[in-house]
Amino acid sequence: MIMVKMMITCVATFTLCWLPFNLLIIVGDEYKEIYEYKDIIYVWFACHWLSMSHACYNPLIYIWMNGRFRDGFKYVFRFLPCIKRTQRPDFVSPHFGTSANSSAVKPSMRRLNTHLHKNGLIHSHIEDHKTSIV
């Protein structure tokens, strides 16, 4: 249910950002004289800026509504002084791909690792818990 709310918020934000610009274009196609107004360039700029700014809002919505995204975001930017130090998120394993930590790895990732091991693309050294990709 939370994912549905997040998607509805993203779609509503997209609609609100792009609606003014699209209405300006539709009205301008129907009534060409609006392009003769002296300040129409400012209206066009504001509508265009709002439309293009939509790309900035999705990450903010994800941070606000998705705890897992928020944890990953904090982890990636953990070196910044304004970000509170966090523990490693559950989807980031310190020994990804080693059989010593296979219980922490999701089954789909375990299958991928098995496939890569069989084809000789990954070599694990269990004794020192390091994985190298060839």
Total Cβ atoms within 10 A of residue 89: 17
How many separate domains does the chain show? 2
pLDDT tens per residue, range 2-47: 889 999 999 999 999 999 999 999 999 999 999 999 999 999 999 9
Whether residues 104 and 41 fall in one domain:
no
69 and 37 housed in the same domain: yes
- Within this chain, do residues 106 and 71 fall inside the same structural domain, yes or no? no
- The answer on 67 and 9 residing in a single domain is yes
Whole-number pLDDT of residue 81:
80
Range of the domain at 112: 99-133
The amino acid at residue 21 is F
∠ at Cα 103 (100, 110), nearest 5°?
90
